[in-house]
Amino acid sequence: MESSPQIQPDAATMPSGNGRGKLRLLTRQNLDGRTKARKQFDAIAQGIADDLKGSGKLSTIQLHLIETFAGCAIIINAINAKLLSGHAIDVTEHSQAASTLVRLASRLGIHRRMRDVNDLTDHIAKAEADAEEAAS
């Protein structure tokens, strides 16, 4: 896999594309969400979040681990596709990516977690209480 150009340690600023030399933090939210890679990344991350009780109930650390897992999964999928198409791969790179996935999965957990579910009576009572509170 080709590596991206390295920024020199003594560089004053990172290239930002605007010609003014301002530092720009590149985040996933800044990228085009219509690309296949972004859609695949989002699907992996959302699937894991759903398995772990949904993204609204996850800690910040869990969310970052999920994003790291999704990125690594895309890398290993690309390596596997390269292998399956008959090209040579770097076995060390493949092994490191697989090992990273295993370590992240062990931190996140590989089993689905049950969500807290109230019975219908409790749900209706809570909805009524919320409606009354909103009306006041």
The residues near 108 (Cβ < 8 Å, ≥ 6 apart) are 48, 52, 62, 65, 66, 69
Q: Tell me, what's the pLDDT at 125?
A: 83
Domain residue ranges of the chain, discontinuous segments joined by +: 28-135
The stretches in the chain having pLDDT less than 70 are 1-21, 55, 112-119
Could you give the CA distance from residue 76 to residue 91 in angstroms, rounded to a whole number?
11
Can you give the pLDDT at residue 1?
47
Q: Which residue has the tokens 């008959």?
A: 86
